[in-house]
Amino acid sequence: MQFMSLRLRTRITRAVIAAAGLLVLLAVQPESARIVEAAWARAGAGGAAGTGAAPIPIARTLVLSDQARRYLTLQYRSYPTEFMGCMLGEFRGHSVVVWRIAPADVEPAQSARTHVVPKQSCEEAGWSGTVGMIHSHPDGQNCWYAFPGTSVLTSDGQSFVHQPYPVDAIMCGDRVVWISRDMAERQLSAVGPRELTASATPER
């Protein structure tokens, strides 16, 4: 009887754990969906609510100048921790052209191999014409804005949703993975002049 009671308690415990896991999963996915919907609304209906600001345009192409590519390559080779930069440029049609990348204001203690946090915004740091932020993943891994096969945003995806800029990018080895307000991931070569993928989500 004691053995049967122990088995029953074990089954009940497993069922409770499974139910709790399912509830966590269901709670996370709708939240991510709400975040994506907020990004869509901001892209389509314009800036902050009630401000009447112009809509944030959706970029289909990201163009990096030679200076921007050199900066990214040098920074990526130099730092074992994540670095962050302000992409300075302009919109041209459906393209964001990045003329240069300026260093973000980051405390050394706030830069590690898996995260980087700026002390202040690019504008507060004195950079005007910012079209987006870029940071690196030193190991060249996990360069995505949503977890593979899901719509659940990573910390990078959630950070982008709360930024005012039209694009965001991750330096990932020899390529740059980037995202616009349509929440579609794209990538381009960090060393060559041509974009690898213009509109499709890259393979993960």
pLDDT at 131: 96
Let me know if residue 89 belongs to a domain. Answer: yes
Let me know if residue 66 belongs to a domain. Answer: yes
Q: In angstroms, rounded to a whole number, what is the distance separating the alpha carbons of residues 185 and 68?
A: 20
Domains: count for the chain: 1
Residue 84, pLDDT above cutoff 60: yes
Both ends of the chain: CA-CA distance in Å?
52
Let me know if residue 1 belongs to a domain. Answer: no
Q: What residues pair up with 188 in beta bridges, in sequence order?
A: 176, 195
Q: Which amino acid, one-letter code, is at 117?
A: V
| pTM for this predicted structure | 0.68
Q: How confident is the model at residue 54 (pLDDT cuts 50, 70, 90)?
A: low
Q: Which residue has the tokens 């994506």?
A: 36
Lowest mean pLDDT among 69-73, 142-146, 190-194: 190-194
Q: Residue 7, Cβ neighbours under 10 Å: how many?
A: 10
pLDDT at 203: 35
Q: In angstroms, rounded to a whole number, what is the distance separating the alpha carbons of residues 45 and 31?
A: 20
Residue 172's domain comprises: 61-197
CATH code of the domain covering residue 85: 3.40.140.10
Residue 67, pLDDT above cutoff 80: yes
